[in-house]
């Protein structure tokens, strides 16, 4: 059991869900602390029936804690989390800053739990779009090595934070009423629209969000030979990311075999009955910790290809739940 758990970014969109999950899952710890920026410091929140005062994030605030779960912007993680390590804490980070550092473990507990147990430094939680895809890829990769992945994402506005969802709701209202609206989270209107860019432009016309899916997938699965061709799109959905995924494997995997592999893998739920119009939808997957898979079918363009549809709550399994699951894994192995 951890003695003192510190939640950094406790008042943010993901931090709020981390708090809820720790309470809901009765995470074993003697004491909890909730830490945020100066703007939120001094406010109060309720956890397990007790009232807590939110503390201010400083480089000295980690003393006495032995586990830190951090959900902050990249620059904050870069500046403050080394101090948590120096204070002797186990650190689970949900930002993008540390993920691809050579000495940082990048972990999805269902996929590579040993990486967390072997970690001596920061343990990073992957990007939300990567997480659900790699959970889906792992059972296939174990059955027949994956050679190539083509993925298009349909990402919810909650992935852009609280302001992203506010832009969707308020922008949609303004659109329907015929009023102008100034978007703050997006460079184009998201109401009744799709934006085929998430993140800044990087090499060869790909965006930072797309390249995360390439490099993080290889690191988590421990295979640098996997080819990934991603396209990331923001869509007018409040929560839950959807992905259209096609994989090429060394040996063909039939849809029937894939369905059995998915059903047997922890954290996956198969919803796949096209005759009755049953498949994963953002509206039905919202609030769940699972990765949902449907529309499983043979890729008719390649003998070793398989296509499927994947939906998951990006704030939960894509962020908060994955971090809490890492914490639970560490707690069980103290």
**For residue 205, what pLDDT band results from cuts at 50, 70 and 90?**
very high
Report d(CA 179, CA 124) in Å as an integer.
42
Does domain 130-315 fall under CATH 3.40.50.2000? My reply is no
Give the model confidence (pLDDT) of 154-176 as tens digits.
Answer: 999 999 998 999 999 999 999 99
The sign of the CA dihedral 236, 228, 121, 2 is positive
Look at residue 5 in the predicted model and tell me its pLDDT.
98
Does domain 2-127+319-332 fall under CATH 3.40.50.720? My reply is yes
Give the model confidence (pLDDT) of 128-143 as tens digits.
Answer: 999 999 999 999 999 9
**For residue 49, what pLDDT band results from cuts at 50, 70 and 90?**
very high
Nearest Cα residue to 68 out of 3, 159, 161: 3
Neighbours of 73 (CB within 10 A): 15
Strands (E), the chain: 2-8, 29-36, 44-47, 50-53, 55-56, 67-70, 90-93, 105-106, 123-124, 146-155, 227-234, 241-249, 268-270, 291-298, 305-312
Neighbours of 131 (CB within 10 A): 27
Give the model confidence (pLDDT) of 15-26 as tens digits.
Answer: 999 999 999 999
Arithmetic mean of pLDDT over the chain: 97
Helix (H, G, I), strand (E, B) or coil at 156: coil
* pTM score: 0.96
**Segments making up each domain of the chain, as ranges:** 2-127+319-332, 130-315
Helices and strands counted in the chain (H then E): 9, 15
Residues annotated as catalytic are 128, 241
Look at residue 43 in the predicted model and tell me its pLDDT.
97
Give the model confidence (pLDDT) of 257-270 as tens digits.
Answer: 999 999 999 999 99
């Amino acid at each position: 059991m951890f003695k003192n758990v510190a939640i950094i970014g406790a008042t943010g969109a993901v931090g709020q869900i981390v708090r809820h999950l720790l309470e809901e899952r009765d995470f074993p710890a003697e004491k909890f602390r909730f830490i945020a920026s100066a703007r939120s410091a001094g406010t109060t929140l309720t956890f397990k029936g007790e009232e807590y005062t939110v503390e201010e994030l400083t480089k000295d605030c980690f003393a006495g804690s032995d586990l830190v779960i951090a959900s902050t912007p990249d620059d904050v993680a870069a500046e403050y989390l080394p101090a948590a390590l120096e204070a002797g804490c186990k650190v689970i980070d949900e930002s993008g800053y540390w993920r691809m550092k050579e000495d940082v473990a990048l972990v999805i507990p269902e996929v590579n739990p040993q990486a967390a147990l072997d970690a001596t430094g920061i343990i990073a939680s992957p990007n939300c779009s990567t997480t659900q895809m790699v959970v889906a890829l792992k059972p296939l990769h174990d059955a027949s090595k994956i050679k190539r992945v083509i993925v298009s994402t349909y990402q919810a506005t909650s992935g852009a934070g609280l302001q992203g969802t506010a832009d969707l709701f308020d922008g949609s209202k303004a659109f329907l009423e015929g009023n102008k609206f100034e978007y703050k989270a997006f460079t184009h209107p998201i109401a009744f629209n799709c934006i085929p860019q998430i993140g800044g432009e990087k090499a060869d016309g790909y965006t930072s969000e797309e390249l995360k899916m390439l490099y993080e997938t290889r690191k988590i699965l421990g295979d640098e030979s996997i080819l990934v061709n991603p396209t990331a799109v923001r869509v007018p959905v409040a929560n839950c990311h959807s992905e259209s995924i096609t994989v090429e494997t060394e040996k063909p995997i039939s849809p029937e075999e894939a369905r059995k592999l998915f059903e047997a893998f922890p954290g996956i739920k198969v919803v796949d009955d096209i005759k009755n119009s049953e498949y994963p939808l953002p509206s039905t997957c919202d609030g769940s910790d699972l990765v949902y898979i449907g529309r499983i079918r043979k890729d008719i363009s390649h003998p070793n290809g398989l296509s499927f549809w994947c939906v998951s709550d990006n704030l939960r399994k894509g962020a908060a739940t994955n971090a809490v699951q890492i914490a639970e894994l560490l707690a069980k192995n103290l």
